[in-house]
Amino acid sequence: MDYDFCREDAFISRFSPGGRVLEIEKLDGYCQQKMVIDPVYFDVRLPQSFRQAGIKIWYQKNDDVILKIGPRFDSHQWLWDLKKVEFLENDGEWQVGVVDLDLNHVTMENNRIRFLVSSPWLDKFGEEILFSRVEIKFEKLPIGWGKVREKVKNLVKF
């Protein structure tokens, strides 16, 4: 899944709420959205559950500004599995960071997972983060023959 902030996406929502993120700016050849207050959220719509997700995100921020992303454990609780975004490389004027997430404990609601983007004290220190692209790869673990036998055994009752 790839969201570039220039167009609505059927699977990845815009960052929200407004006020914490400013309106998306459409510039020459790309779009960006500015986060000014922590935290912000986005939802990902999925056809099924997955065990892992790898997020690659394009951003601009000062080096001392912390950036974390993670899924909500359960829609009925305020519990998040936040992981620090690790710098990978520069892509022109953008920093590219990655984070790997374990989704085994995450409960989907209406085929959606809510993610939180956090940068503690962002507004208190007068900082901001610009985002231009989010790429997410979801993975299921392969089913081995032992698991197939177990599933068939549980389905077939003698």
Task: Compute the distance between CA of residue 118 and CA of residue 116 in angstroms, rounded to an integer.
Answer: 6
> What torsion do the CA atoms of 54, 110, 3, 25 make, to the nearest 10 degrees?
-130
In the chain, what are the domains?
2-155 (2.60.120.260)
Per-residue pLDDT of the chain (158 residues; tens, 9 = 90+): 899 999 988 999 999 999 999 999 999 989 999 999 999 999 999 988 899 999 999 999 999 999 999 999 887 888 999 999 999 999 999 999 999 999 999 988 899 999 999 999 999 999 999 999 999 999 986 655 555 555 555 555 54
